């Protein structure tokens, strides 16, 4: 069996956060330390956005301070940010590679499908994928985003978490431009995607370091290594490297 250290330099994680989550605050400088110790290739980074409103100026400053050879900034977009600039051009200074819409943290997105279309249009012009949080309530379940995937076949979409899995499979089957990340996805759900012949539509993601809030006793470094080794053990190194390297470079760093 291959060792973590051997493959780490090729691994890209498409779903990582900094900032306040519930009672915890995940410091950007600690993420630099963690990923320095892990030695992985790329880290798709975004604020948590959960605790309150996104503050673009603050987020840009934080993400701009992270080592650019490893950290890949994502634009966390709120309805107010779209109102302020529907082209989203104001936010180009971040040099983001993905736009994130979180319709669980901001449940009012559900009543604003045209505002979501405005974001997708901006993503199309910029040539970046749109990541949707999925799961948690009706308004952010995977099937809610099916129509957007069908309306914008030239934009790539990432269904973060792929929840619920039955709806996720429907979207993946019906839209070639739909992908899923496996952050907080159980092994059985990943198996269902693979069994449906859709393994090539998975991106490796973890939601690191949010798991520490749910399981305070874990050691984050050990958790990270064990998570990857478990995925390789079950799904094989070849498939895993498509999720963790090939798809990240093809979709996000294209």
Q: Tell me which residues touch Zn ion (CB under 5 A).
A: 207
Q: In angstroms, give the least distance from the CB of 184 to Zn ion.
A: 8
Nearer to Zn ion (CB atom), residue 7 or residue 12 = 12
Q: In angstroms, give the least distance from the CB of 26 to Zn ion.
A: 11
Nearest to 239 by CA among 248, 231, 251, 250: 231
154, with CB counted inside 10 A (0-12, 13-18, 19+), is: exposed
Q: In angstroms, give the least distance from the CB of 236 to Zn ion.
A: 26
Q: How many CA atoms lie within 13 A of 200 on its CB side?
A: 5
Map residue 104 onto helix, strand or coil. Answer: coil
User: What distance, in Å, lies between the first and last C-alpha atoms of the chain?
Assistant: 31
Nearer to Zn ion (CB atom), residue 7 or residue 99 = 99
Nearer to Zn ion (CB atom), residue 210 or residue 232 = 210
Q: In angstroms, give the least distance from the CB of 235 to Zn ion.
A: 22
Nearer to Zn ion (CB atom), residue 118 or residue 134 = 134
**Cα–Cα distance measured from residue 129 to residue 201, given in angstroms and rounded to the nearest whole number:** 13
Nearer to Zn ion (CB atom), residue 41 or residue 207 = 207
Q: In angstroms, give the least distance from the CB of 238 to Zn ion.
A: 27
Whether the CB-CB separation of 212 and 193 falls below 8 Å is answered with no
């Amino acid at each position: 069996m291959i060792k973590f250290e051997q493959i780490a330099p090729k691994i890209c994680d498409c779903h990582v956060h900094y900032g306040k989550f519930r009672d915890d605050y995940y410091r950007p400088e600690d993420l630099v330390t963690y990923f320095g110790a892990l030695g992985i290739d790329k880290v798709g980074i975004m604020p948590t956005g959960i605790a309150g409103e996104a503050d673009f100026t603050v987020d840009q400053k934080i993400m701009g301070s992270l080592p650019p050879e490893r950290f890949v900034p994502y634009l966390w977009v709120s309805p107010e940010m779209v109102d302020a600039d529907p082209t989203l051009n104001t936010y180009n200074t971040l040099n983001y590679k993905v736009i994130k819409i979180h319709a669980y943290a901001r449940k009012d997105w559900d009543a604003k499908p045209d505002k979501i279309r405005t974001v997708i249009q901006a993503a199309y012009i910029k040539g970046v994928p749109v990541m949707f949080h999925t799961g948690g309530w009706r308004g952010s379940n995977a099937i809610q985003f099916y129509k957007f995937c069908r309306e914008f076949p030239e934009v790539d979409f990432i269904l973060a978490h792929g929840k619920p899995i039955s709806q996720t499979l429907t979207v993946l089957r019906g839209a070639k431009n739909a992908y899923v990340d496996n952050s907080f996805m159980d092994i059985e759900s990943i198996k269902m995607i693979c069994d449906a012949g859709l393994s090539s539509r998975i991106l490796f993601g973890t939601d690191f370091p949010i798991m520490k809030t749910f399981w305070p006793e874990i050691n984050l470094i050990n958790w990270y290594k064990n998570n990857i080794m478990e995925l390789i053990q079950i799904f094989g190194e070849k498939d895993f490297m498509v999720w963790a390297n090939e798809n990240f470079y093809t979709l996000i760093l294209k």
